[in-house]
Structure 1
Amino acid sequence: MIRQYRRTTLLAATALFAFAIQNVFAQALSGRDLPDRPRVGVSYYKVPPGKHDEWLALYQKWHRPIMEAQIKAGVTLSSTVYALRNHQIGSPYDFVIISVSPANPKPLGLSRGELIKKLFPDTEAYVAGEKRRWELTVDHWDTSLLEIDVTDPNLSLYYPLINGKVVR
């Protein structure tokens, strides 16, 4: 009971810290996108013990084809799934998916809903599969990474960039 309480407290504290840090950085990095650099998105997933293979099978069947269609269309450059190499006490996630998109992605040419219908004509099966994958997902969050040009002589996270130049 105490172990579960500590784990719950640790997860809550980690989530609160991540939320606070994300908000601080969101404010600090406003306007910092470099126009010629790829966009990096990171998705974290926590899955119940013993359910990892089932989650991966559902991801592979119901979500991976969407990512592959986006890669084929040039909307996304890559999407890689990672798992923790070692067991860790209280790890807040089990899987990390890092997706890289071009700085100026091409339009997909159809909505996400249209893409799903095209890939999965049996909508009921798709919904059931995705519903089960999300039932197995204990926690999930997405974030994006911003590349910092460390060669910039005026290196700062606070001044906005316009056309790749610091505006003061």
Structure 2
Amino acid sequence: MKKKILLSVLFILLAWNFKGFAQTAPVQSAPITIENYYKIKWGHAEEFITLWKKNHYPLLKKLQEKGDVISIKAEAPILHSSEDSRWDFKVTLTFKTEHLAFDYSIVDPFKKQLYPDQDSYKKEEQQRFELVLAHWDVPVESIPLK
């Protein structure tokens, strides 16, 4: 008997909680900017950037044409820094929504279209990743200064 009462109370609470959840307005995701940093093996930054521009940038451009990516910006430092804090290449991407920023499969439809020779594409991407010593992504936000 106690189990039936407990299950009934649990069912009512779940139903009430679901009803409240279903009535909430859908969350609108704002654009999100992510800085992607790459630390490359010494002497190989140019090779990495060449491969990135050949095999990854066109995919991002397709996402920008589609409207999923708002902006793409690439940078490299002019001067060197200490080994522990150095990075060789930074890409700043602004995505239309947070969901799009973290859905790594959004480029998949364009891979075969842009790179029909998938074996060569995969080999070059493998080479690009072998050049990376470290990689980190930092979601950033603008801070109003007024």
Q: TM-score when scaled to structure 2?
A: 0.68
2:107 partner amino acid: R
Greater Cα radius of gyration, structure 1 or 2: 2
CA RMSD of aligned residues (A): 2.6
Please name the residue that 1:49 is paired with: 42
Q: TM-score when scaled to structure 1?
A: 0.60
Pair 1:102-2:96 in alignment: yes
Please name the residue that 1:62 is paired with: 55
Please name the residue that 1:117 is paired with: 112
1:125 CA displacement: 0.8
- Write the deviation string for residues 94-147 of structure 1: whole angstroms up to 9, x where unpaired: 1111001224888xxx95322111111111011001000000011101121134
Q: What is the distance in 2 between the residues matched to 1:70 and 1:105? A: 14
Report the count of equivalent residues.
115
Pair 1:92-2:89 in alignment: no
Identity of aligned residues (%): 26
**Structure with more helix by fraction:** 2
Please name the residue that 2:67 is paired with: 74
Over 6 Å off, 4+ runs: none
**More off after superposition, 95-104 vs 41-50:** 95-104
Structure 2 unaligned residues grouped into runs of 5+: 1-26
Structure 1 unaligned residues grouped into runs of 5+: 1-33, 152-168
Q: Is the 8 A contact 2:63 2:107 kept in 1?
A: no
Q: How does 1:1-168 map to 2 (within 5 A)?
A: 35=28, 37-90=30-83, 91-103=85-97, 111-148=106-143
1:57 CA displacement: 0.8
Decide whether aligned partners of structure 1 residues 94 and 51 sit closer, same or farther in structure 2, where only a CA change above 3 A counts: same
Q: What is the distance in 2 between the residues matched to 1:47 and 1:93? A: 7
